Amino acid sequence: MGYREFLNTIDKSIDKIREFIDKGKNFNVFCHIDADGLSSGAITSVMLLRANTRFITRSVRNIEEIIEAIPNLPPDSIIILTDIGSGYLNILREKFREKSLIILDHHQPDGEVEEGWIHINPHLYNIDGAREISSSGVAYLVAKALSEENVTLSPIAVVGALGDLQDKSSEKRELDGLNKMIVEDAVKAGLIKVSDDLLFYGRSYRPLHLALASTTSPYIPTISGSEAHAVSFLNSLKIKLKEDDRWRVFAELDEEEKKTIYNGLMKYLSSINFPPSIVKELVGKVYELTKEEDWTPLKDAREFSSLLNACGKTGNEWIGIAVAMGSRGELLLQAQKILEEYRKKLSEIMEYLVKRDTWQELKYIIAIDVGTAIDDRMVSSASSILSSSELLPEDKPLIMLATRDDKVKVSARASRKLVAKGLNLGFVMKKAAERTGGVGGGHDVAAGAEIPLGKKTMFLAEADSIVGEFLKS
């Protein structure tokens, strides 16, 4: 089992997809709302557009929205799920046995698919869907197998993988595995340039203080999200922001200046009791989209994914999908505004969270219940930032909860160390949610759930005990 088998399966599935297209079938695409979800939805949409099919694409927060929507679709439409579905095969099978489903996903599968359905998931071939390929990568490989012209979509697959932080397990923040193959496609097609540098957003075209302020991974308290603080920080290090009348950019700094900023950030972090080592995350591979205009957030693949994430988490999913499909102009301007506002909001949320008022340490987990203080769609970004900021103990996973109406959204993150010890958060979320009347799943390092409001305490107790079972064994 491995890459070859996975790619063969894709090739085989293509005949069936082509048959649906040739028969003039209607397609309904459902994609998840995060950056990888919107990217995979956009890739699938462009594939269907280029194949001259009729299709509708919509984004969903969770599996429940899909379960509600499918009965209202035309009976013979082909349903494509991207970045969602594999974790809920039993439910889908039970309810929609007679429908035609195509699932392009990278979450840990649970159950079997109905005969005749297409299920493309790397885990079925022992390929790690949390690190080696994302749903956008899966959708890209399908699109490319259908038509070579879809190689133009390779940068969006890279954007999706970075959105799901698939570069995080590598020391050098580099995409590996099948993701690396996709990067190579993009490089060969002249669409992406890869280099080693400090990973400030817009390092080759954005003024230093803007590049510093717009970088949120790693999160640098008060500087991430604030241009004014970024300016005073750089001034304090005596870094010249301008050369004559022109703003300087990170790419033109000499090694000495880069070191000064790197060390300055370490010093600053320790002065505010943050672990200085998180600065290490700032060094690695930069993925630049060569055809994008300078000065836009689309130039840097990581920032492109932040823009999609911002659209997805603020009810502007369609703008994100349209931009990922290639729309620019007015829509891109709107998306940029959304990104700016999202960054501000996220930095306020982080300031609130790092005060630790909401943290609760249980025997095996750290629980943070924000109630309705934070939009439930923002907890996943906040939990990712928190878990990579080294503020949490490495030996306890983070479980964050936010309430919306009568539901609780759960977002869980574990350190690589815990995963190496055998912890699988996808399993923890699934079991704890099942026992409390909700649904859950995901990956070993990052997972989530939705549970009824009255079941919070019970859910946390279950999660604590299941994590304990993993770590004791």
Binding site for ligand C5P (CB under 6 A): 32, 62, 87, 107, 380, 383, 411, 439-443, 446-450
- Residue 270 near residue 305 (C-beta atoms within 8 A): no
> Could you tell me the CA-to-CA distances from 42 to 79, 84, 334 in Å, in that order?
15, 14, 18
Closest to ligand C5P by CB, 87 or 160: 87
Closest to ligand C5P by CB, 88 or 274: 88
Closest to ligand C5P by CB, 87 or 297: 87
Strand 398-404 and strand 407-413: the pairing is antiparallel
Q: Could you list the beta-strand ranges (E) of 282-405.
A: 283-289, 359-361, 366-371, 398-404
Closest to ligand C5P by CB, 124 or 237: 124
CB of 32 vs ligand C5P, minimal distance in Å: 6
Residue with tokens 């759960």: 410
Q: Which residues pair with 59 in a beta bridge?
A: 31
Q: Residue type for 351, please? A: E
Strand 78-82 and strand 246-247: the pairing is unpaired
CB of 256 vs ligand C5P, minimal distance in Å: 39
CB of 94 vs ligand C5P, minimal distance in Å: 17
Strand 407-413 and strand 366-371: the pairing is unpaired
Closest to ligand C5P by CB, 88 or 205: 88
Exposed (0-12), middle (13-18) or buried (19+): which is 327, by Cβ within 10 Å? middle
Closest to ligand C5P by CB, 284 or 440: 440
What is the rounded CA–CA span in Å between residue 82 and residue 319? 18
3-state secondary structure of 240: coil
CB of 458 vs ligand C5P, minimal distance in Å: 17
CB of 2 vs ligand C5P, minimal distance in Å: 23
Q: Which residues pair with 360 in a beta bridge?
A: 367
CB of 287 vs ligand C5P, minimal distance in Å: 21
> Could you tell me the CA-to-CA distances from 14 to 21, 22, 80, 121, 229 in Å, in that order?
10, 12, 13, 14, 52
Closest to ligand C5P by CB, 289 or 367: 367
CB of 107 vs ligand C5P, minimal distance in Å: 5
- Residue 450 near residue 32 (C-beta atoms within 8 A): no
H or E, element range at 461: helix 456-472
Closest to ligand C5P by CB, 102 or 286: 102
CB of 64 vs ligand C5P, minimal distance in Å: 9
Give which of 445, 473, 353, 362 is closest to 130, Cα–Cα.
445
Q: What is the chain's Cα-based Rg?
A: 22
CB of 441 vs ligand C5P, minimal distance in Å: 4
Closest to ligand C5P by CB, 206 or 343: 343
